[in-house]
Amino acid sequence: MRLTCPLCGERDLREFTYRGAALTRPEGETWGDDWHDYIHLRDNPAGENREYWAHSTGCAAVLLVTRDTRTHEVLGSALAKGGGA
Amino acid sequence: MRLSTGGQIDRSRPLDFSFDGVTYSGYHGDTLASALMANGLKVVGRSFKYHRPRGIFSAGSEEPNALVTLGAGARAEPNVRATMQELFAGLEARSQNRWPSLDWDVMEVNDLVADFLGAGFYYKTFMWPKAFWEKLYEPVIRRAAGLGALSGQADPDANEKAFAHCDLLVIGAGPAGLMAALQAGEAGVDVILCDEDRTPGGSLLSSTEDVDGMAAPDWATEAVARLAAMPNVRIMTRTTVTGVYDGGTYGALERVGRHLQHRPGPLPVDCFWRIVAKRAVLAAGALERPVAFQDNDRPGVMLSSAVRAYVNRYAVAPGSSVTVFGNNDDAHRTARDLLAAGVHVAGLIDARHEATTDLDLPFYPGAVVSRVTGRMGLETVSLRTHKGEVKLQSDCLSVSGGWNPSLHLTCHLNGRPVWDEGIASFLPAPEGMPGLIPAGGAAGLFPTWEALESGRAAAARALEEMGQTVPHQKVPEAEGAPYKVKALWHVPGKGRAWLDLANDVTVKDVRGAAAENFRSVEHMKRYTTQGMAPDQGKTSNLSAMAVLGDATGRDVAQTGITTYRPPYVPVPIAAMGAGGKGRGFAPERLTTSHGRSLAMNAPMIEAGLWYRPSYFPRTGEKTWRQSCDREVGMVRQAVGIADVSTLGKIDIQGRDAGAFLDFVYANTFSTLKEGRVRYGLMLREDGHVMDDGTTARLGPQHYLMTTTTAAAGEVMGHLEFAAQVLRPDWDVRLISVTEQWAQFAVAGPQSRALLEDVLGRDLGGDVLPFMGWIPVTIGGVEGRLFRISFSGELAYELAVPARYGESLFTQLVKQAEARGGGAYGMEALNVLRIEKGLLTHAELHGRTTAFDLGLERMMSRKKAFIGQAGASRPGLLAEDRERLVGLRPVGAVQMIPAGAFLFTEGEEAVRENAQGYVTSTAFSPTLGHTVALGFLKSGPDRIGERIRMVDHLRGVVTLCEVCEPCFLDPEGERPRA
Amino acid sequence: MPELTLIAQNALPQGVVTTLAGTRVEVLPMRRLSALMPGPDAGPLAEALMAQHGLGLPAPGSVEHAEQAECLWFGIGQYLLIGPAPAPDLAEAATLTDQSDAWASVLLEGPRARHVLARLCPLDLRARAFAPGATARTELAHMGASVTRTGPDGFRVMVFRSMAETLLHELRAALEAVAARGMV
């Protein structure tokens, strides 16, 4: 598998570390359903999935990657820091 | 028998080789198979299950029969396909799966009782008594069945792996592949052309047709020469593409040194390539399939294309009188080439009634072969004609049941082949194989001209998809007669008819599977083991599916086909894991004091990738404990030096650095004063502890964080995630400085005196209090001195740029020794911290919380931090959770092994009753008894109780007293002295 | 009071380690390395670099050169100044972190250099993808590495100091295997 880093270009999978589904962190200080969802529940879609990948042995950027879980096709990747735009 | 002329062998270079200890001769350019055949050998192996004598069946990587063991000793290589092994002088091969000899094999008795050994036999027979399976049945069966044996010795050969990148990968260098490479090569894109043969050319090398007005092999040679002259084209011979992976990544096995008599030491035998390509053309050609009939596995029964390859390319007659049988025009080509080479043809049998021939030979249209005889080599061929049974004397039967496109790679990304009635076979799926374009035989286009043209077209399509212009490329004139075939899978009759030669699966076995209701191809495959041998059923899959379909009242299209998965040919694990032996297993991280520590005879232990000294033995010390106890004593009574450079060090700067630390740590750092250091606890978002360490404030917006050695990488990744994803608008700049600094602990009551001496300055509590740091100059070098303690003693850590590490360590140790101390290693460091109840990842193991560790007050209520909400869950704050305690033995048994479980006295030591477990343990030379840390339900409320420790694995039971997790100086006066 | 003199030591002895098939592995001398991290706005750093060191701010994946000085793009929000001590003015525009001791630098140069590196590193090393003046943070034999193409046949490889010996071992083994192909 290969991923395109917006800074480094297309690179081999071994440079990256998976960092989980791209979810919005609840921020609240007390435990509730929002935190339960954020930490434990995943949609596991058959199709498009948005996920974070860190270019860990590359440039250290965290990427927001859109990927089709059925075909493994990478539909897009952007810097997470830029809001994933 | 070698033909007197022709072939692409070099008759000026004869080569001697041996098979089963007998010396034979062949030529350069031969394969082991062609050389064995030239020497008249019929039987080259025994079958997997029934030990039936077997001969050479094919001329390529699909070979199911002719597997041999090459070489001897540690270099013995089992299951080498004789059809793929290039002959070299001195080659030593042995036949397999026979004892005592190939001619006389005692296990051939299996064949006589074959009626009892059909598919499913093991499952039904060896069920009772249950205990017999592992002890008796399986070992016996394994010895009786099987392939070649491994040497059992370490692999002495070098292997290699490598990466390659190109625009277009062309898989196979037959007519389609050569044309694809020419088309793309002239367009100027980077092309890699792989072929598993030693010589590119594919089917052209065995062809007597003309291409572009010249002999087909000559045209191939010329095309290869044109490609070789292009700087953007790389030709990789002896290279089989084995798998297709996501994102245009292809696996390929290159046989680098297997054809050489003498290999230079570092030359790899194999290289496993990862090739990345924007597009690929699959020009892997097609595999011929046989027809099943009674005893069709006899030595001398051979694929028609293989017969042509041996006659035309290797100048070997596979028999003195060959019968040719087929259901398509390929059989006619074989008969024609045999006649042209002067080989006697006993008859041409074409299953099609309408077939005609111009050849001068006995011709049997509308007939089929019903059986053959000849246990150790073919003797007769029986035909069923419309006039009745005919028997021909023949020592070789050429069989052609039609062609199956080599579409295996198109399935690796989930492409599902589709049935095509015209070729009576499956074609590559139109979808499900991104970037991979089939051409030629692999696309079901068998005539040479069609293969050439489709190769060109596939490359043109790839170029267009890559946005490249497509230069005009002329397709040479070549044979273009359309391919016609009449499906024929199996000739009904008595006796056993073989489908899968490699795993000894017959028509009867597949029918048996259907009768047992294993109707799905996947179930039939697993029940009969069809297609599960090293050849993966390359020549048998489709026929087996057809027989299954027939038995279940479906056609082949409905029956479907099993899914092909990588690898296409067997890949040695040694090639995939190349470089992973010995020092190549993982990078070795060495501290600056490594050499000095080795010089002091310190044994090294691995801590992650780091190597750290266990202890520093001195004269007279016989065990590690003696050294360790002495080193602990040094630190407690004098001064010890330890290299602590492996701890992660992260430099954190920026306007929001303080706020960021407040966010990632449970406790507060924005209030930390410059020049001060604070212990920090880092949680995961789910509220469990991730890591701990100290962080110093270096400046208004500048902090230096330390992490544990084990979690340094994980913490850095965590901080990057927090900074980039969770707080993207904050100004935080992170950089690892772990490797920039060498850092040494100077610990013990004399540490201050030692440092005051070497630094030439006062280090009193007002200059440098506990949990403070100051910049220092040492020998003219700028460093940092931290007053922190991981031993519970008055202690410091001194950091200098890494280039001075060895020098500083050496001199600190010398100074310490002069004061009755010295270097201490990981063993002593561990004892010192357990005596003080300080934590490592034995306690921070991912399932413990700040509450469990007695550190719940570190979780600030004044600010938000990662893990705050998670840690507030009632279940993570329950009083009866397993919580940190100290343990000391109170009975006769003193051992408290880490990993042991804790039980209430009087309760049975079973899982349901477990009250907790031991995480760290050491003999304390300071206290004279064992001390341990562990987690116990409601631990802090049970101080003073007695608890029973049981180590089921080591068989140790120890009575312990529960105590505070700090055995020494609980008030912490020493480090503040 | 004991007089303490600290002796500096490179991670590896400087100089040529191996030459095979015209391709050599050479340990480079230690040079001053400074990480420059400009924060959200890199503009002031670009100006300061040009004014103080005559260096442009390198684009991702590239290197800027001046006399005696080099600046590598070194990852997200990070640049590596090689050679001179950073001018004090740079501190106004970026945080400066000394990394001189953190890395070991090895030069791999010669006709087989690219093929040797291809044994260890998944990077696309074709000239059209990775031309002289290109730099990458990547993985090399399981180590995080910085690879810079110094010329048509030359690559500078940097790994963390602690892994310097592993780097040499891997480069030497790969070069031996590649060179052996020329011997048959």
Which chain B positions have a beta carbon within 8 Å of C5's beta carbon?
A: 779, 807
CB contact under 8 A, A11 and C122: yes
Taking the Cβ of residue B276 and every Cβ of chain A, the question of whether any pair is shorter than 8 Å is answered with yes
DSSP symbols for C31-76: -EEEEEE-TT--HHHHHHHHHHHS-PPPPTTBEEEETTEEEEE-ST
Every domain of chain B with CATH number 3.30.70.1400 lies at 648-736
Going by pLDDT thresholds of 50, 70 and 90, the confidence category of residue B141 is low
d(CA C20, CA B314): 38
**pLDDT, mean of residues B399-419:** 95
According to the model, what pLDDT value does residue B116 have?
73
Q: What whole-number distance in Å separates Cα of residue B789 and Cα of residue B506?
A: 75
DSSP B871: H
Minimum-distance CB partner of C122 among B163, B256, B267: B163
**CA–CA dist A48, A73 (Å, integer):** 9
Whole-angstrom distance, CA of residue B372 vs CA of residue B413: 41
* Residue extents of the structural domains in chain A: 2-82
Torsion angle of alpha carbons B456, B457, B458, B462, nearest 10°?
100
> What is the arithmetic mean of pLDDT over C101-120?
98
Q: Which CA distances in Å does B637 have to B247, B821, B837?
A: 62, 8, 19
Residues 6+ apart with CB under 8 A from B833: B790, B791, B792, B839, B840
Which candidate, B233, B195, B200, B180, places its Cα nearest to that of B454?
B180
C-interface mutation test, from B88, B198, B234, B267, most C Cβ less than 10 A away:
B267
Of B101-115, B310-324, B675-689, C142-156, the one with minimum mean pLDDT is B101-115
With b meaning 16 or more CB within 10 Å and e meaning fewer, what string describes B83-107? bbbbbbeebbbbbbbbeeebeebeb
Which residue of A62, A63, A77 to mutate against B (max B Cβ within 10 Å)? A62
Q: Chain A partners of C136 at a C-beta cutoff of 8 Å?
A: 8, 58
Chain B residues closer than 8 Å to C95 by CB: 653-654, 702, 733
pLDDT at C158: 98
Backbone angles phi, psi at B885, to 5 degrees: -140, 170
| Cis ω for the linkage preceding B587 (within 30 of 0) | no
Closest C-alpha to C73, from C36, C39, C47, C122 = C36
The tokens for B921 are 């343990």
Per residue in B695-730, pLDDT tens?
999 999 999 999 999 999 999 999 999 999 999 999
Q: Which residue of C has its CA nearest to A56?
A: C144
CA dihedral (B141, B144, B146, B150) in degrees, to 10, reads 100
Question: How close is the nearest chain B Cα to the Cα of C11, in Å?
Answer: 7
Backbone φ and ψ for A84, nearest 5 degrees, come out as 70, 20
Which residues of A are less than 8 Å from C124 in CB distance? 10
Rounded distance, CA B525 to CA B543, Å?
12
Q: What is the pLDDT of residue A84?
A: 46
Q: Counting every residue, how long is chain B?
A: 977
Which chain B residues in 120-159 lie under 8 Å from chain C, judged by CB atoms? Answer: 158
CATH 2.40.30.110 describes domain B879-977: yes
In the CATH scheme, what architecture does the domain B488-559 have? Orthogonal Bundle (1.10)
Q: What is the pLDDT of residues B195-238, one digit of tens each?
A: 999 999 999 999 999 999 999 999 999 999 999 999 999 999 99
Residue B147 confidence class, pLDDT cut points 50, 70, 90: confident
B591 touching C (Cβ < 8 Å): yes
Contact B269, B158 (CB under 8 A): yes
Residue B129: count other Cβ atoms within 10 Å of its Cβ.
7
Check C139 against A57: CB less than 8 A apart. yes
Could you confirm whether domain B290-401 is CATH 3.50.50.60? yes
CATH number of B648-736: 3.30.70.1400
Q: Provide mean pLDDT across the span B871-875.
A: 96
Residue B575 above 80 pLDDT? yes
> Which CATH superfamily, name and number, covers A2-82?
Folate-binding superfamily (3.30.2270.10)
Residues 61-100 of C with CB under 8 A from B: 76-78, 95, 97-100
B729 near A CB under 8 A? no
Looking at the DSSP assignment, which residues form a beta bridge with residue B275?
Answer: B164, B250
Min CA distance, C6 vs chain B (Å)? 6
Q: Which numeric CATH code is attached to B598-645+740-834? A: 3.30.1360.120
Give pLDDT tens digits along chain A (85 positions).
Answer: 999 999 999 999 999 999 999 999 999 999 999 999 999 999 999 999 999 999 999 999 999 999 999 999 999 999 999 754 4
- How many beta-carbon pairs below 8 A join chains B and C? 156
CA dist B498 and B505 (Å) reads 6
Any chains having at least 3 CB pairs less than 8 A from chain B are A, C
pLDDT at site A85? 40
> How close B571 gets to chain A, by Cα (Å)?
20
- Report the pLDDT averaged over residues B64-73: 94
Give B598's contacts in chain C (Cβ within 8 Å): none
Q: Which of C8, C125, C180 sits opposite B264 (nearest CB)?
A: C180
Q: In chain A, whose CA is at the least distance from the CA of C121? A: A12
The pLDDT confidence band at residue B99, using thresholds 50, 70 and 90, is confident
Fold of C32-98: Alpha-Beta Plaits (3.30.70)
User: Closest partner residue to C122 among A12, A55, A61, by Cβ?
Assistant: A12
How far apart, in whole angstroms, are the C-alpha atoms of residue B580 and residue A11?
22
A→B interface, C-beta within 8 Å: 1-3, 10, 12-13, 17, 19, 25-32, 35, 38-39, 52, 54, 56, 60-62, 71-74, 79-83
Is some CB atom of chain B closer than 8 A to the CB atom of C103? yes
Could you give the C-alpha distances from B624 to B827, B896, C132, in angstroms and in order? 9, 18, 53
Query: How far, in Å, CA of B725 to CA of A25, rounded?
Result: 10
Whether the pLDDT of residue B145 is over 50: the answer is yes
**Extents of the domains making up chain C:** 16-30+101-181, 32-98
Task: Name the token pair of B726.
Answer: 């969770």
pTM score, whole prediction: 0.95
Which candidate in B735, B762, B817 is best for mutational testing of the C interface (most C CBs within 10 A)? Answer: B735
Q: Are strands A48-54 and A62-68 parallel, antiparallel or unpaired?
A: antiparallel
Q: Among the CATH numbers 3.10.20.440, 3.30.1600.10, 3.40.50.920, 3.30.300.130, which is that of B1-153?
A: 3.10.20.440
Among chain A residues, the shortest Cα distance to B729 is held by A81
Q: What is the C-alpha separation between B510 and B561, in angstroms, rounded?
A: 14
Reported ipTM: the value is: 0.98
Q: Which of A59, A63, A77, A81 is the mutation pick for testing C, counting most C CBs within 10 A? A: A59
Nearest Cα residue in chain B from C74: B735
| Among C124, C137, C143, beta carbon nearest to A58 | C137
Q: Would the CB atoms of A59 and C122 count as touching at under 8 Å?
A: no
Q: Are C95 and B160 in contact (CB < 8 Å)?
A: no
Q: Which CATH architecture has domain B160-286+405-465?
A: 3-Layer(bba) Sandwich (3.50)
Residue written as token pair 């059925």: A70
Question: Where does residue B414 fall: left (phi above 0), alpha (psi -120 to 50 degrees), or beta otherwise?
Answer: left
From the list B266, B590, B654, the residue facing C162 with the nearest CB is B590
pLDDT surpasses 60 at C1: no
| Residue B466 CB coordination number (10 Å) | 14
Chain-chain contact of A59 with C144 (C-beta, under 8 angstroms): no
Q: How confident is the model at residue C2 (pLDDT cuts 50, 70, 90)?
A: low
- Whether residue B829 has pLDDT greater than 50: yes
Q: Can you name the CATH fold of C16-30+101-181?
A: Gyrase A; domain 2 (3.30.1360)
List the one residue out of B765, B761, B789 whose CA is nearest residue B775: B761
Return the closest-CA partner of residue B6 out of B313, B291, B255: B313
- Backbone dihedral region for residue B264 (phi beyond 0: left; psi -120 to 50: alpha; all else: beta): beta
Q: Regarding beta strands B53-54 and B425-427, do their DSSP bridges make them parallel or antiparallel, or are they unpaired?
A: unpaired
pLDDT tens sequence across A32-44: 999 999 999 999 9
Q: Which residues of B touch A60 (CB under 8 A)?
A: 720
Q: How confident is the model at residue B146 (pLDDT cuts 50, 70, 90)?
A: low
CB-count burial class (<10 Å; 0-12, 13-18, 19+) for B844: buried
Cross-chain Cβ contact A71/B163 below 8 Å: no
With CA atoms as reference, the chain B residue closest to C94 would be B654
Eight-state DSSP code of residue B321: E
Question: Residue B263: closest CA among chain C residues belongs to which residue?
Answer: C184
E-only strand ranges, B124-225: 160-171, 191-194, 210-211, 214-215
What are B626-658's pLDDT values in tens digits? 999 999 999 999 999 999 999 999 999 999 999
Percent pLDDT > 70 in chain C is: 98
Residue by residue, DSSP assigns B50-105 as: T--EE----SSTT-SS-EEEES-GGG-EEEEETTTPBP-TT-EEEE-S-SB-SSSB
User: Could you tell me the pLDDT band of residue B433, with boundaries at 50, 70 and 90?
Assistant: confident
Say whether A59 and C76 touch across the interface (CB within 8 A): yes
